[in-house]
């Protein structure tokens, strides 16, 4: 009985934390699954506007996966479950303004404070063709390259892509990844 329970527990935890091979996507876009029918995705702000600064990564509604800025992913170090992201247009990395709650994602031309994220997904869709769903039920958790920092990427209504303490029951932290036709 105890043995069966252990197998079930292992199965369940494997099911909620799959590493998708994001590095194999030619380009991708990251979508807030809970917003606007899944059409709210990462973009880069090109002008300063109120609390938003030029270069900040923001949430922007666009029903086309390639309608906003698009990104690429690379694995970090020898870990296959950690990723850094780059803007396809400039090849600059996505950085983080800090490691605490309320820190935001931004373009990092200097390569300082690169965001290293552990990306766990519920489902990976192998070999997406064109503008297709590549992964869903994903959680992006900031790490220092070694340890999880318990800060997750969240959709927030003030438009900037922010970090907040990880919370699996918060739909605003439920992200999807689309491949982008180049
Ligand atoms: C986690 O998210 C849920 C749903 O938004 C919320 O009700 C709950 O208070 C959050 N938990 C914490 C610890 O913030």
C-alpha to C-alpha distance for 53 and 73, rounded to whole angstroms: 23
Residues 62, 43 contacting (CB under 8 angstroms) = yes
Q: Which tokens is 164 given?
A: 């907040």
Residues 31, 178 contacting (CB under 8 angstroms) = yes
Atom 13, ligand 1: residue with shortest CA distance: 167
Which residues, judged by CB distance below 6 Å to any ligand atom, belong to the binding site of ligand 1? 167, 169-170
pLDDT at 49: 84
Q: Report the separation in Å between the CA atom of 101 and the middle of ligand 1, taken as the mean of its atom positions.
A: 14
Q: Report the separation in Å between the CA atom of 165 and the middle of ligand 1, taken as the mean of its atom positions.
A: 10
pLDDT at 126: 85
Q: Which tokens is 160 given?
A: 């900037």
Q: Report the separation in Å between the CA atom of 124 and the middle of ligand 1, taken as the mean of its atom positions.
A: 26
Placement of tokens 């899944």 in the chain? 38
Q: Pick the atom of ligand 1 nearest to 165's CA.
A: 14
Tell which one of 169, 172, 174 to mutate to probe ligand 1, the residue whose CB is within 8 A of the most ligand atoms: 169
* Tens digits of pLDDT across the chain (182 residues): 444 444 444 444 444 589 999 999 999 999 999 998 889 999 999 999 887 899 999 999 998 888 899 999 999 999 999 999 999 999 999 999 999 999 999 999 998 899 999 999 999 998 888 899 999 999 999 999 999 999 999 998 878 999 999 999 999 999 999 999 88
Atom 12, ligand 1: residue with shortest CA distance: 167
pLDDT at 113: 95
pLDDT at 16: 59
Tell which one of 34, 155, 164, 170 to mutate to probe ligand 1, the residue whose CB is within 8 A of the most ligand atoms: 170
Cβ of 126: how many Cβ atoms within 10 Å? 8
pLDDT at 129: 83
């Amino acid at each position: 009985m105890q043995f069966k329970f252990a197998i079930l527990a292992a199965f369940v935890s494997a099911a909620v934390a799959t590493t998708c091979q994001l590095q194999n996507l030619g380009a991708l876009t990251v979508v807030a699954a809970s917003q606007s029918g899944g059409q709210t995705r990462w973009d880069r702000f090109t002008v300063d506007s109120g609390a938003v600064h030029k270069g900040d990564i923001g949430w922007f509604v666009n029903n086309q996966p390639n309608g906003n800025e698009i990104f690429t992913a690379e694995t970090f170090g020898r870990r296959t479950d950690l990723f850094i992201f780059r803007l396809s247009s400039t090849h600059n990395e996505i950085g983080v303004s800090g490691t605490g709650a309320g820190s935001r994602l931004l373009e990092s031309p200097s390569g300082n404070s690169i965001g290293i994220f552990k990306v766990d997904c519920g489902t990976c869709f192998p070999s997406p063709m064109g503008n297709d769903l590549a992964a869903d039920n994903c959680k992006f958790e900031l790490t220092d390259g070694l340890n999880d920092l318990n800060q997750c990427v969240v959709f927030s209504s003030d438009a900037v892509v922010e970090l907040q303490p990880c919370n699996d029951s918060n739909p605003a932290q439920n992200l999807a990844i689309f491949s982008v036709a180049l």
